Structure 1
Amino acid sequence: MPNNNQPATQGASQSLDQFKYEIANELGVQLGGDRTSRENGSVGGMMTKRMIQFAEQNLKGGTKI
């Protein structure tokens, strides 16, 4: 099944890919089709967790972009 998701902001996909590989490196996971769903999924889960934390901080007035 092809991935038809499009980032809301132009140029965001490059930043998201970079973010994905940074998280994978931190977790010590090699991304790829030959890896388990758990390994690849852990990266996506951590990305989501960090993006939610970032959004919550911005909503509280913490970190400014």
Structure 2
Amino acid sequence: MAGERNTNQPALQGASQALDQFKYEIANQLGVQLGGDRPSRENGSVGGQMTKRMIQFAEQNLQNGNRL
């Protein structure tokens, strides 16, 4: 849906900045330059990698008995 804006709200104040920083760190590691002029495959690879790493983090914490 072109032109639609993301209306998701982070659960914690300041989470948006942390996620934004995380996004650019992942993009840098993957050698991807984010932007509207880039193919969706490139931009999507960053989001996929972010999700993968957040799930790994949560699984490790749950495995260690830590509550998130």
* Same amino acid, percent of matched pairs: 81
* Structure 1 unaligned regions, length at least 5: none
Per-residue deviation, 1:2: 1.0
Moved over 3 A (4+): none
Aligned to 1:28: 31
Q: Distance in 1 between matches of 2:21 and 2:40?
A: 20
TM-score when scaled to structure 1? Answer: 0.93
Per-residue deviation, 1:51: 0.1
* Structure 2 unaligned regions, length at least 5: none
Number of corresponding residues = 65
TM-score when scaled to structure 2? Answer: 0.89
